[in-house]
Structure 1
């Protein structure tokens, strides 16, 4: 792939079209800020009713990273020019604080606000008049982004597409085989997505009940600790932790962790397990679920033998995966294991790397056979959970430099991440925020 593949001549129609950014979360808005600085037109499409809509669902959760690791340099420059200041650099905010104190002001800037379309779901990306099998003239043909709004379907042409839609809306299934367990529809009203607000708006659904958290990552750990606190306040509340492995090493504490909040999380969960506040159901593989009276029964195998586990409620904290259906007509080159861009996958493989050992990378590692199309942010990591916002910010800085024809800046990628001893080399974990 060469630079000229997306550096159209002024007479080309491509030069008149915007870059379409899918998703108005931290990475999508950072891409917008970088394009503002380069004078490149863009449109941000957000499926939710407001920017960073998915973040509202887990806004009560405190991030591991402090403010200094959570703000994008280009976005910071634009905000500071408008009088904004970074909050306490060493303090870790909640999701709500990050959204309201940083992302909302960023999205409200005059250079960005008018280019954001909320309530706009992207349902497909293609080339105008071409399916994925046609090659001739492909790199000179505009993208076609199909959207769904309250008014129905529509299409937007684009010179390039940056997919920063994340993975929160695509959770992994409860089933240990990567599929939804048989009978899943029977217990739909008893299953919760990751990171419910146990001590806040969702309290009534958990108080006085037996809740089983499924998953071994940091999202599971946050929910377990909230449930332990609720059990102290609401009699009859019980907490179970169901995992596939013999131990939940992926949330263990470590003195080597450069993010103290993350290490503290693991230590607190370990202490709760030792105290007996959490009933650990280990080596359990879920195959099917069944409704039993007012609760659910998880059926499968434990340590190789047939087993069942009864509970009132289930929290699905099994992690996330990229939603790829809307990209069916785009020529993607994805790793066959983690579903990340093929050149990036070896750098982020959770069997080999933790959050702090990911090498700097940019447009070269994120490119696909489809010129001008990039997946960035958490979605670029596929099923690998070791993503940090700082990584995504460097990704979009490089990608937007390449879109602007600045090959030097695009290839000069630098990234200094906090050290970590937390993310295990034996499998995935929760998102390293």
Structure 2
């Protein structure tokens, strides 16, 4: 099974000749594969499209074989090969009734065998309404994969509601998750639905679920078990239909052994576990990701500069790589980025410091990664947060949680 076949995707060459099309889309418009492959894109659109070179998106009607027309949004991505040669286009069709279409799934532009298997597994899981736990280091694309699973599930026409668990203190957990009625507390001048109610019929994404306190975990467990809740100040319970996808950068098995995470909650949110590998374990994807990011900025990169980027370990993963390229693109006034552009007074890139010999324990210890980042940043929390690919507030909370002395 290939994950592309479950998406509304069209792959063309530079001349807009269709080379591959999702089976779901073929079925939707009533054709057979052999009737479309090798034909121009115009065959299934109501308008003549001659060139997508400058287009990032367009609106058109998709033509079915029986003459029906389906208005939709077509998102366009250029496809580049390993040598940064433009080879064609990846076009995604989304019906106007579908959810927002601004997501960037460039993190899944991959040649890595392990990553391809993960995407195939995610595609299979998306079709079944079970809970999923996505694990991986900060910046690997856990939230993107969660949204990707939602978009390819039967719940895709309903809401995807993301909750940053690390940002919700115990005192606000119930009001944020379950909502409240007017007059439930001082300042509650209006009733407000919680995250679980907003997500009814769709997907509830619990980002950094491992950061929840044991108190909040106990409250979440009751909801996960029954899908029932009560708004603060209400006298009757409500029931919702949501799929739960969770993500964490912690090893929850170790957290359970330490008594920091409930066993019963773990086995309810982890019917299926998907672990995203860090970027340093799939370095063959770096040129694909770099070229895709830079193409949107109308820039290119020299082979020797690309080689430098591939030698770096990128502990902040794709998020760090993207942030670095954003900074380089701002200060590089040329169309082509070279080695000297990777390190100037505004953009700091010290390759020697990235070659530290970290133990395996370091990669799985969030506390050690934070301590190391703070050392490299000489105590500057904003700089350390940027290295780790997390917000300043999240870093501050984690410093307090681990009692790290600065």
Same fold (TM over 0.5): no
Q: Which has the higher contact order (CA 8 A, sep 6+)?
A: 1
TM-score of the superposition, structure 2-length normalised? Answer: 0.29
Q: Answer with 1 or 2: which has the greater Rg.
A: 2
TM-score of the superposition, structure 1-length normalised? Answer: 0.27
Question: Which structure: greater helix fraction?
Answer: 2
